[in-house]
Amino acid sequence: MKVLVIGSGGREHALCWKLKQSKKVTEVFAAPGSDAMVDDGITTVNIAESDHSGLIHFAKENGVGLTVVGPEAPLVAGVVDAFQAEGLKVFGPTKAAATLEGSKQFAKEIMKKYNIPTAAYEVFTELEAAKAYVEKQGAPIVVKADGLAAGKGVIVAETVDEALTALDDIIGARAFGDAGSSVVIEDCLRGEELSLMAFVHGETVISMVPAQDHKRAFDGDEGPNTGGMGAYSPVPHISSDLVAEAEETILRLMAKAMVAEGVPFTGILYAGLMMTEEGPKVIEFNARFGDPETQVVLPRLETDLVQVLESVMAGEELDLSWTEQACAGVVLASEGYPGSYPKGVAMSVPTVDESTGLKWFHAGTKKDQEGHLVTNGGRVILLSTLGDDLGTALGSTYEVLDASEWPGLFYRSDIGHRAVKLSGGEK
């Protein structure tokens, strides 16, 4: 089988890398892909993820047997519907089902209707009414742009002034464009965050191992929210009973809810959770693989990924095999991210021995005209490392990162450290 992956980031790099390991696959294409993927034997195709007709034409002309959609934007724009209309096999939610990520209001309304645990909320389109609600509720409080904002449209405001500023930015200044035409304002949940993803087709749900992401830009969970500065799996300080509860009361219940609503979900259902004192509650749903969670979850998957996709699309719940090893990933980002940042900064990436479980996944790099690697995004690259336990995996990751100079880049030095401490301080 030939497989096409739509997208170009670190998540798609990890997807292509894993799919290429399948015994069922003869060639993996990535559209548009990246220069780093070429170095891994992936065939890149110069077609934008928004060019649905171009992608369909390529899939037909090249005998692609399965297309996997990586990012959220083409899903929300209906790329799956377009492929299905041409009789092509594609893994991802339809435009209607992807609204679960495309509109936070839609997701909250579904959760409310089907008693899926989440924070209490209100929705506003008018700036003054939203501000009045914030002043009445007080802080901490969470302000979210309703639509897609590349992971940046969520502000966890610790003060009322922060929340009011966020509303001015989102509704007043339209910092996120039409994504901010309405806002969801919700209670601030407290507890441990957890990322839980599942392969879903209708009511068929195959859960993955959990991961934990670090959203804040700087050490100590300081600074603005980002798309994610690092992640690790497993999450040893959160009990398997709590994870199982989240699978039943959140992932499986949402899959059933979407069927009941007439918008059955096929693809990756991602639940961003807060493990509160009352149990797991939903922070957000995504309609695709998380980034950077994918880069630490897929390296632990021992079952053939194509077999998993084929099984779930056939409605079969497969028992997945996972390595007992832990996996840690740390992001190197451009200085200035998640705000404005320069591109085209020269960088040198040390070679790692992939046979020992280390792997670079490129999110925002490219090669210049001379063939030298330069930065091309906010989150630039991630080093993913397998180890016997979380402490070992993190130690190996930071050993590589700390031994090099990274001009123009920064990374957090405390990814996973709290989890190691809470779970007994593995060495």
pLDDT at 362: 97
Structure confidence at residue 426 (pLDDT) = 44
Say what the pLDDT of residue 260 is. Answer: 97
The residues pairing with 28 across neighbouring beta strands, listed in sequence order, are 3
Q: How far is CA 346 from each of CA 229, 300, 374, 405, rounded to the nearest angstrom?
A: 21, 32, 4, 12
Instruction: Determine the pLDDT at residue 148.
Output: 81
Q: Residue 165, Cβ neighbours under 10 Å: how many?
A: 15
Position 424 scores a pLDDT of 65
Ranges under pLDDT 50 in the chain: 426-427
Residue 427 is predicted with a pLDDT of: 36
Q: Cβ-count burial of 220 within 10 angstroms (0-12 exposed, 13-18 middle, 19+ buried)? A: exposed
User: Is the N-terminal amide bond of 74 cis, ω within 30° of 0?
Assistant: no
pLDDT value for 151:
65
In angstroms, the CA 189 to CA 222 distance is 17
Give the pLDDT confidence score for residue 177 in this predicted structure. 84
Structure token digits, residue 339: 């705000």
387, 329, 332, 322: which is closest to 364 by C-alpha? 332
282: left (phi over 0), alpha (psi -120 to 50) or beta: beta
Integer Cα distance of 17 and 40 in angstroms:
7
Paired tokens of 39: 């170095």
Nearest-angstrom CA–CA distance, 54 and 259: 31
- Residue length of the chain: 427
Whole-angstrom distance, CA of residue 25 vs CA of residue 270: 26
- The pLDDT, as a whole number, for residue 418 is 84
Q: From 121, 89, 117, 112, select the one nearest 24 (Cα to Cα).
A: 89
Give every CB contact of residue 421 below 8 A, 6+ residues apart in sequence. Answer: none
Global pTM?
A: 0.92
Domains of the chain plus CATH, in order, are: 2-94 (3.40.50.20), 126-181 (3.30.1490.20), 192-313 (3.30.470.20), 326-422 (3.90.600.10)
